[in-house]
Amino acid sequence: MSVSSTINGTFLAGASCTLFRQIVNKPLYYCTQVLSFFLSLVAIPILIYFAFFKLKKARFNRNVLLLYRMYFGVILTSVGNSTVAFGHHIVTLWIAKSDCDYLVDTGKLRGMQILGIIGISGPSVFMQGIIIERLIALARAKFYENSMFLVGPVIALFSCIATGALVVYLFIDETFTEPTFSYVLIPSTSGPKMNYLCWGLLGANFIDLVANLAMEKVNTCIRKRYLNTLSTRYQLEENIFATRFSFFLSLIHLAFFSFYYVITLTLRYRGTWFVDDSADLMALRGIFLTIPTYNLLIGFFSIWKLNSLTGKKKQKLDSEVALQYTGPEGTKNYEVFYTWSSATNKIAPIN
């Protein structure tokens, strides 16, 4: 029997609701929604631990530390949004009483879509901000250690503004009245702009990766010129440490987000090459597994990488300050130590 419904003033034929029911009930689509929900749920405590506890022990400069926390804070926003969205998709299958009950509320859709785009574009924008902060740290290496806590907040502010501008660009003309079964699917009216956004973010990710690699090389070369300047050497060492961590983040970010952008663009441009059925194509577009997987793994990978870098840094420091006790160099060190010890013992105490 054909049914009809009205959602926020939009008339729906029964055939449209039936199509959405078929999509939601497809095993592949539903299983990926369940998996994405649990991936997002598990990622929350891991990201909180890393952003607010693990990073604090890494002794990063305050400016870059703020940007790292903002970066992971944006990811946490994406994770929270994804958890709610996928949880709704899972529950709807069991509580829907009619075909049109599978539709999401278009009033809530606006907020979920905005948070979703922040989660997609925000990390890329903040990675660019981290590159700018590292460039400033390199240019001001001689006195950046004692500089004011101002660079980080300013870059963070502009990064937030840039992320907001991308959201406005994408949704400025969007009414969010188009019926849909998914909170993660971009409305077709904003589809062309989403394509441009994906291409732009993909290019930004490549630039960020190359810039981080170049920064590490430049810092390493410059460090050799300041062997006798302790403060500059310290800042350059911190630059290299932070840049290596940023490069790792960029590499993981590029791999996952580039895969997501490529899949998104492929399904938008050439989706009919893979499937002919419209329900199957919409189900494929509704599978949002790449970003939840990234959100979970980036927490684990970041903890591992930070531990690895910290361990290597400590090992290098220990090797640089350790005295050699064998051979000619060891004999010389012993004589110096013995002379210093004897002279110290002869100094009369001050009363």
Predicted local distance difference test score (pLDDT) of residue 348: 47
Taking residues 181-205, report their average pLDDT: 84
Residue 169 confidence class, pLDDT cut points 50, 70, 90: very high
* Tokens encoding 67: 């940007």
Q: Please state the domain extents for the chain.
A: 4-302
Stated length of the chain: 351
What are residue 7's phi and psi, to 5 degrees? Answer: -115, 115
b vs e for 29-66, b when ≥16 Cβ sit within 10 Å of the residue's Cβ? bbebbeebbebbbbbbebbbebbeebbeebebbebbbb
What would you measure as the largest C-alpha separation in the chain, in angstroms? 105
Beta strands in the chain (DSSP E): 4-7, 10-13
Average pLDDT, the chain: 77
- For range 256-268, the mean pLDDT: 75
**Range of 86-90, 105-109, 113-117, 309-313 with top mean pLDDT:** 113-117
Q: Place 347 in a pLDDT band, splitting at 50, 70 and 90.
A: very low
CATH annotation of 4-302: 1.20.1070.10
Q: Which of 87-96, 120-129, 246-255, 331-340 has the highest mean pLDDT?
A: 120-129
Point out the least confidently predicted range of 32-36, 114-118, 119-123, 269-273.
269-273
pLDDT at 12: 44
Q: Which residues pair with 10 in a beta bridge?
A: 7
Higher pLDDT, 330 or 174: 174
Q: Which residue has the higher pLDDT, 1 or 338?
A: 338
Q: Is the pLDDT of residue 125 over 80?
A: yes
pLDDT tens figures, 239-249? 778 888 888 88
Q: Which pLDDT belongs to residue 79?
A: 92
* pTM: predicted TM-score of the whole model, two decimal places: 0.78
Selection from 57, 27, 86 nearest residue 295 by Cα: 86
Which residue in this structure is represented by tokens 């210093």? 340
Residues 6+ apart with CB under 8 A from 307: none
Band the pLDDT of 71: cuts 50, 70, 90: very high
Q: What is the pLDDT of residue 325?
A: 52
> Angle at Cα 246 formed by Cα 243 and Cα 250, nearest 5°?
135
- How high is the pLDDT of residue 70? 93
Q: Which residues contact 343 (CB under 8 A, 6 or more apart)?
A: none
Single-letter residue type at 138:
L
Whether residue 315 is predicted with pLDDT greater than 80 in this model: the reply is: no
338 vs 335: CA distance, rounded Å? 5
Question: Residue 287 has which token pair?
Answer: 């599978």
The CA distance from 308 to 279, in Å, is: 46
Confidence of residue 45 (pLDDT cuts 50, 70, 90): very high
- pLDDT-based confidence at residue 232 (cuts at 50, 70, 90): low
